[in-house]
Structure 1
């Protein structure tokens, strides 16, 4: 009984980690797209020196 519970617990942990990693990949992709859009729109504005950073 204990080995079965350990296998089920391991499967649950691995499933949770896989789901979390997939969610983090999607979040990273969204952040990358937003950053690229900000970079493109800031470069298109012109005006003064073109910097990709605010400070």
Structure 2
């Protein structure tokens, strides 16, 4: 999922450089959503992965 976030961030940067504002905003929005989903899943996996001895 982090890979998709990076892809959409790069797409947003390239679209912004070439002046495609709508596409850049859409790609940046998707990247933000994917990043936050990744963070939530990462935190859940850390919590569930702890082993008590």
Shorter-chain TM band: 0.5 to 0.7
Uncovered stretches (5+) of structure 1, i.e. residues with no partner: 44-55
- How much does 1:27 deviate? 0.2
More helix by share: 2
Q: Which residue of 2 aligns with 1:28?
A: 42
Uncovered stretches (5+) of structure 2, i.e. residues with no partner: 1-18
Q: TM-score, normalised by structure 2?
A: 0.62
Q: CA RMSD in A?
A: 0.9
- Find runs of 4+ consecutive structure 1 residues off by over 3 angstroms: none
- Greater relative contact order, per chain length (Cα 8 Å cut-off, separation 6+): 2
Count of aligned pairs between the two proteins: 35
Q: TM-score, normalised by structure 1?
A: 0.60
- How much does 1:17 deviate? 0.3
Pairing 1:11–2:33 present: no
